[in-house]
């Protein structure tokens, strides 16, 4: 699993500002979404443990991978909007269907431009 800093090729924050930077414009919402299946292998590997207490590491790994993809898509959407940064970064997830084994993971935030940045997102 990649570190969050490696996935964010632009500044990102869960707050609505970027430390030591001035937001010059709010572009609008940006998001990355994925519908992800744990797959049969993860289900078979963890079968039986669902009746016991404890982490189901196979599912944790699958969800972490899906979260990374959602975050990469959020960054790509922000870049397509011309953003220099994403603020108010957060995640949401939902199950899809009772027994489908699918989960929706949404990474979202507000795309912004930063004072002193070029349109491509590089700092002057």
Dump the DSSP string for 63-118.
HHHHHHHHHHHHHHHHHHTT-SEEEEEEEEEEEESSSS-EEEEEEEEEEEEETTB-
Domain holding 73, by residue range, is 4-114
Quick check: is 120 in a domain?
no
Task: Output Rg (C-alpha) for the chain, integer angstroms.
Answer: 17
Cβ neighbours for 65, distance < 8 A, ≥ 6 positions apart: 1, 36
Quick check: is 32 in a domain?
yes
| pLDDT confidence tier of residue 122, bands split at 50, 70 and 90 | very low
| pLDDT confidence tier of residue 117, bands split at 50, 70 and 90 | confident
Query: What is the tens place of the pLDDT at every residue in 1-55?
Result: 455 556 668 999 999 999 999 999 999 999 999 998 866 544 444 455 455 667 7
Quick check: is 124 in a domain?
no
Quick check: is 122 in a domain?
no
Question: How many domains does one find in the chain?
Answer: 1
Quick check: is 18 in a domain?
yes
pTM for the model stands at 0.76
**Which CATH number fits the domain that encloses residue 56?**
3.30.110.70
């Amino acid at each position: 699993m990649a570190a969050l800093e490696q996935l964010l090729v632009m500044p990102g924050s869960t707050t609505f500002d970027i430390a030591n930077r001035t937001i010059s414009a709010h572009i609008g919402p940006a998001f990355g979404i994925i519908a992800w299946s744990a797959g049969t292998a993860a289900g078979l590997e963890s079968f039986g443990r669902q009746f016991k207490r404890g982490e189901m590491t196979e599912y944790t790994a699958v969800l972490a991978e899906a979260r990374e993809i959602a975050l990469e898509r959020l960054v790509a959407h922000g870049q397509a909007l011309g953003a220099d940064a994403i603020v108010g970064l957060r995640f949401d997830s939902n199950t899809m269907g009772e027994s489908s084994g699918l989960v929706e993971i949404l990474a979202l935030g507000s795309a912004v431009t930063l004072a002193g940045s070029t349109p491509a997102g590089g700092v002057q």
